[in-house]
Amino acid sequence: MRARLIDGKAFAAGLVERVAAAAARLEAAHGIKPGLAVVIVGEDPASQIYVRNKGETTARAGMRSDTHRLAETTTQAELLALIAQLNADAGIHGILVQLPLPIHIDSAAVLGAIDPDKDVDGFHVVNAGRLAVGLPGLVPCTPLGSVMLLKEALSELSGLNAVIVGRSNIVGKPMAQLLLAENCTVTVAHSRSRDLPALCRAADILVAAAGRPEMIRGDWIKPGATVIDVGINRVPSADPVKAAEGKTRVVGDVALAEAVEMAGAITPVPGGVGPMTIACLLANTYTAACRAAGVEPETLAG
C-alpha cells in the first residue's frame, strides 16, 4: 500500500481564509478586530523566524498583529509588567509568549500570568484543566490542528485505537484529551514504554510527538493506519558532500519513505502538521475575540 499524503499546507491555507472571512464578518457586525500580541525575548534565530511568520500571517488575515521584541537581558519583572499591560488591553484578544525564554526567566510563572481567556497557545493550567474536564477553553494549536487533519482524513474517529508517542504538555497530553473527546481508545506511550514498536503496531491512529528524528520505522506501523507526524527535526543533509558543508534538512519523528509503504494516510514533514499550527493560532485568536464580545464563534474546522 502507498499512503495518501495529507496536505496540511493546503488545509491550513483554507483555514486561514475561513478565519479571515469570519474575522471580517465579526468586525463588520460588531466593530471588533481580533488582535494578537506576540512577545519574543532574545535573539534565538528559529524563534525569530516563527515570530515573523506568525505576525505576517495574522496581518494577512486582516487581524491586528503586534510584535513585542524584548532584549535578552529583559528581567522577569519587566516581562510580567508587559503581560499585565496586554491582559488589560481590550484591543488584544490573544497573547503568545514565544518559547523558549532565556534561562533567567521562569517560563511557568510567565505563562501563568497570561489571562487564560487570552491564552491562545492554550498552555495555561486553567486551559489544560478545561480541556481535561470538557469545558470550553483555548486548546494548544498543534494538537488542535492535528485533530482537524485526522477528521479530514478519516471523518469518523470514534472507537479507533489511537497511540500517541510523546507526553509533553504542549502536544502529547492535550492530544490525548482531544482524541478521548472523539471517543478514541487512547494510549500515551513515551521513552520509558516497553516494546514501543508493538504498541505502535496496534494503532489505527499513530501520533508521533517524541522529538526524535525518524524514530518511528515503517514496520512499527499497522497496514492502512493514519499517521500524524508532529516532529520538526533539523538533521544533516542526506548528501554527504552537502552535510560536510553544514547543509541541513528537516525531518519528522517518522521515517517517511518507509512509512508511506505501510500507512493508509500520513502527514509529510515538511508540509503536514507544521502549517496547521499558525492557522490554529489565528483560529484561537478569532475565538477569543468572539468570546470577549459575547458573540458565538463561527465553525471554522472546514
Catalytic residue numbers? 54, 98, 121
Nearest distance from residue 229's CB to ligand GUN, in Å?
A: 16
Is residue 119 involved in binding ligand GUN (CB under 6 A)?
A: no
Of residues 203 through 242, those in contact with ligand GUN by CB under 6 A are none
| Residue nearer to ligand GUN on the CB measure, 24 or 99 | 99
Which C-beta is closer to ligand GUN: that of 49 or that of 198? Answer: 49
What minimum distance in Å lies between the beta carbon of 131 and ligand GUN? 16
In three-state secondary structure terms, 65 is: strand
* Long-range contacts of 154-160, Cβ-Cβ distance < 8 Å, separation of 24 or more: 154/205, 154/226, 154/265, 157/182, 157/183, 157/184, 157/205, 158/182, 158/183, 158/184, 159/183, 159/184, 159/185, 160/184, 160/185, 160/204, 160/205
Distance separating alpha carbons of residues 56 and 68, to the nearest angstrom: 14
Which residue, 143 or 264, has its beta carbon nearer to ligand GUN?
143
- For ligand GUN (CB under 6 A), the number of binding residues is 7
Closest distance of CB 295 from ligand GUN, Å: 26
Of 234, 256, 257, 258, residue with least CA distance to 247: 234
> Between residues 119 and 204, which has the closer beta carbon with respect to ligand GUN?
119
**CB closer to ligand GUN out of 51 and 260:** 51
Collapse the DSSP code of 250 into the 3-class scheme (helix H, G, I; strand E, B; otherwise coil) and give the result: strand
Give yes or no for residue 121 binding ligand GUN (CB under 6 A): yes
Which of 3, 14, 254 lies closest to 145, judged by CA?
A: 14
Is the bond leading into 270 cis (omega within 30 degrees of zero)? yes
- In 3-state terms, what secondary structure has residue 278? helix
C-alpha cell at 111: 505563562
Task: Restricting to residues 94-113, name those near ligand GUN by CB under 6 A.
Answer: 96-99
Judged by beta carbon, residue 96 or residue 215, the one nearer ligand GUN is 96
As a whole number of angstroms, the distance between CA 142 and CA 126 comes to 18
Stretch that binds ligand GUN, among 78-86, 92-100, 190-198, 208-216 (CB under 6 A): 92-100
Q: How far is the CB of 225 from ligand GUN (least distance, A)?
A: 26
CB of 151 to ligand GUN, least distance (A): 21
- The window from 9-17, 90-98, 245-253, 286-294 that contacts ligand GUN (CB under 6 A) reads 90-98
Query: Alpha helix (H) ranges present in 31-124?
Result: 45-60, 76-87, 107-113
Site string for ligand GUN, 127-146 (x = CB under 6 A): --------------x-----
- Radius of gyration over every alpha carbon of the chain, rounded to an integer in angstroms: 20
Q: Grid coordinates in use for 295? A: 458573540
Nearer residue to ligand GUN within complex by CB, 53 or 75? 53
Does residue 70 interact with ligand GUN by CB under 6 A? no
Kindly state the smallest distance separating residue 97's Cβ from ligand GUN, in Å.
6
Residues within window 145-174 making contact with ligand GUN, judged by CB under 6 A = none
Residues 11, 276: contact at Cβ < 8 Å?
yes
Cell of 3: 499512503
CB 294 → ligand GUN: shortest distance, Å?
27
Residues that bind ligand GUN (CB under 6 A): 96-99, 121, 141, 277
